[in-house]
Amino acid sequence: MANRKNHLSPQKVYKPKRCWVGDTHKIIYDTYEEAELAAEVAAYDHDPTVKLKPYKCPYADHYHISST
């Protein structure tokens, strides 16, 4: 049997890159497609009635998702 303790308790926790947009600290997505997929996953995991859409960051060359 595999060592479940090590498998379920990874040493490294993933922390996404973020940038400031106005007064919020938003997650950075490198491509529009990546942001679109993240929006679909978030809707599936949390609330499918809220429509999340990707948009290009006005301050840099990456994307974010928003409900507005």
Whether 56 is covered by a domain: the verdict is yes
Which domain, by its residues, includes 52? Answer: 17-66
Q: What is the pTM of this model?
A: 0.75
Mean pLDDT, the chain, rounded, equals 86
State pLDDT tens for residues 22-44: 888 999 999 999 999 999 999 89
Looking at residue 18, what is its pLDDT? 94
Whether 45 is covered by a domain: the verdict is yes
Whether 42 is covered by a domain: the verdict is yes
pLDDT at 4 over 90: no
Whether 35 is covered by a domain: the verdict is yes
Whether 9 is covered by a domain: the verdict is no
Give strand pairing partners of 16: none
Whether 2 is covered by a domain: the verdict is no
As for how many domains the chain has, the answer is 1
Looking at residue 6, what is its pLDDT? 58
Both tokens of 22, joined, read 């106005």
Whether 11 is covered by a domain: the verdict is no
